[in-house]
Structure 1
């Protein structure tokens, strides 16, 4: 990280405009001092993607759980800003958990916010590999995005077995509320900044993910000197699959070891 990065010159000359932030929160019945979790969804997703299962499950295990919906039309810098500001507003040092492109946002936020720990779930950290996977799984929905159009996400891209509670119509309705138009910045692969305070980082994913290929998961984990924790038989949207409890329990078990 350079002195220019530390000063964040662009934030002084061209500050991120204010915006209302949609945060969904679920708190445990008893507060035993565990760090709050801040979930950050990816492209086309909102707080609803975590509110269905992972938020109540985390709160049931004693973790204050919050999910932040990305601001509509916000670029990567704005979304990083929102994550940092939301995390800083929580009463204790937070754990950042990003999914898909939300993992890219978390990776950037770790360079500014001293998180207690972080989890990158099915991370899309930039580069053309995710676009190549999208073209193979859903060419009709991906090709328009290459010429500035809208990216259409398909159930085949997101799920292996299908979500147990939400119907395909509900998910399509949720996705249509946001503009999942990919930005050029998502196609640039860059080395993520080192986490402030050397927060431990866990990378999780699935070898059957049709958005993030296994080599991309390995590269993401290697950037933090680790190996990815894998959940075979699951799709990209780990938090909505029929076996959604497996990855969140693994995350919470890992966090419990980190905070002892």
Structure 2
């Protein structure tokens, strides 16, 4: 009897790992061994994370990649990675390093080489960038800031409820690293997009996303043009950055499942 394929869910900034719970339950029902380990320093609960922001602070992209690499190396089988926002960037880095069987990157943060920087993305991240000292801090969003960055495509009441349920402080360091990526030849936001032997990659984009607008995801797709490995894109025109946690999450999850089955995974 073969063991179930592991699926690791990787959260992005401002959301706790437990926000993946509906996804891990669905993928478990579909026969996968699903888990959602947090970033380094993440406390076990949303409330603990809010109470202890210093444990989250000052973790950069390389720290997070090393953290998930250590988790992957304990597995008997290369996992499927599903990441949202900065988790989508991390998933792409690990896939490019041949540490995953496949990856789904949902509204993934900008990788090195991606040039578009829409105004909405600047506004969504302004709470971090307005103070250079935030590079070494964990920064929280207000409910209003969350509505702009995540909840703009859903009712205000739903956005506020998601904010109360899932949001945690986020380290500022990854955002500063991504912002400087195109000026740093050794940027931690660099992904091996030319790897032709890696597993398949699916990019997903929400057409109303303020934080990672569709233009960013389509520019990311172009970065993979020199690789013969499978690189697909799926768009959800009416969805924003909350697409993994809001009432429409299942449509996104089932789209990922359908794609994975097409890849015989």
> Do the two structures share a fold, i.e. TM-score over 0.5?
yes
| Aligned counterpart, 1:22 | none
Contact in 1 for aligned 2:128/2:172 (Cα 8 Å): no
Unaligned runs of 5+ in 2: 41-55, 183-188, 226-230
Paired residues in the alignment total 225
Alpha-carbon distance between aligned partners in 2 of 1:70 and 1:173, rounded to the nearest angstrom: 18
Residue 192 (structure 2) aligns with: 193
Shift of 1:116: 0.9
Cα distance in 2, alignment partners of residues 136 and 245 from structure 1: 28
Unpaired runs of at least 5, structure 1: 1-30
Instruction: Give the TM-score normalised by the residue count of structure 1.
Output: 0.75
Equivalent residue number for residue 46 of structure 1: 16
Displacement after TM superposition at 1:99 (Å): 0.8
1:40 is displaced (CA, Å) by 0.7
CA distance in 1, matches of 2:250, 2:100: 24
Query: Partners of 1:156 and 1:202 in 2: how far apart?
Result: 26
- Kindly provide the CA deviation profile for residues 5-41 of structure 1, in whole angstroms up to 9, marking residues without a partner as x: xxxxxxxxxxxxxxxxxxxxxxxxxx86442111111
Task: Specify the SS of the correspondent of 1:198.
Answer: coil
RMSD (Å) for aligned C-alpha atoms: 2.9
CA shift for structure 1 position 42: 0.7
Distance change in 2, residues 1:119/1:170 (3 Å): closer
The separation in 2 between residues aligned to 1:173 and 1:247, in whole angstroms, is 20
Helix, strand or coil for the counterpart of 1:110? helix
Mapped to 2, the partners of 1:252 and 1:132 lie a distance apart of 33
Answer whether contact 1:100 1:123 (CA < 8 A) is retained. yes
Match of 2:94 in 1: 109
Hey, what does 2:68 align to over in structure 1?
Answer: 83
Q: How does 1:110-129 map to 2 (within 5 A)?
A: 110-126=95-111, 129=116
